Amino acid sequence: MGRREYISLTEELALMEQYLLLEQKRHPFTFEITNRSSIDLSQVDFPALLLQPIIENSIHHGFTKDIVMPAVSIAVEKENEALKIIIADNGRGFDQVSTLYGHGLSLVQRRILLLNETRTFNVEMKIKSASNMGTTTTITLTNWM
């Protein structure tokens, strides 16, 4: 079986759950994955493994020994005609003014730019973070139906 560029959002979230379970064996943290929309996620095409580097950043860069009860959440929401995947952590966060995207996130951003050139839907990534306040990354898909 060859590598697929797009998989269903259901498959992507299942892969992220497996990734999080694997990371839990190395680092203690909790996680939650929720679909807050009424959308059948198995019918949504999604770029394979787009979320993995974002989640990896949360775990490897956000969680330090001084974070009490580290946690990651992934939520799917529908807002008007947009589909949003929100990844949030309660890690150490970072100062966005002084910190450029890390290597993994810059690759995600480049991949999004390429996707937007070749697909009918549009993908956008927004990161909200502050030192000691955690990080929230929102992936928004418009024209995805």
Instruction: Encode pLDDT of 43-101 as tens digits.
Output: 999 999 999 999 999 999 899 888 999 999 999 999 998 999 999 999 999 876 545 45
Q: Quick check: is 73 in a domain? A: yes
143 to 8, 82, 83, 123: CA distances (angstroms): 16, 7, 9, 9
In a domain, 38, yes or no: yes
pLDDT of residue 65: 87
- What is the pTM (predicted TM-score) of this model? 0.91
CATH code of the domain containing 77: 3.30.565.10
**HEC string of 85-141?**
EEEEECCCCCCCCCCCCCHHHHHHHHHHHHHHHHCCCEEEEEEEECCCCCEEEEEEE
The answer to whether position 1 is within a domain reads: no
Which of 68, 4, 69, 78 has the alpha carbon at shortest distance from 34? 78
The total number of structural domains in the chain stands at 1
pLDDT in tens, 100-127: 456 788 899 999 999 999 877 899 999 9
Q: Is residue 134 part of a domain?
A: yes
Residue that the structure tokens 């929401």 belong to: 77
Does residue 42 sit within a domain? yes
Identify the domain containing residue 71 by its residue range. Answer: 6-142
| pLDDT classification of 1: cutoffs 50, 70, 90 | very low
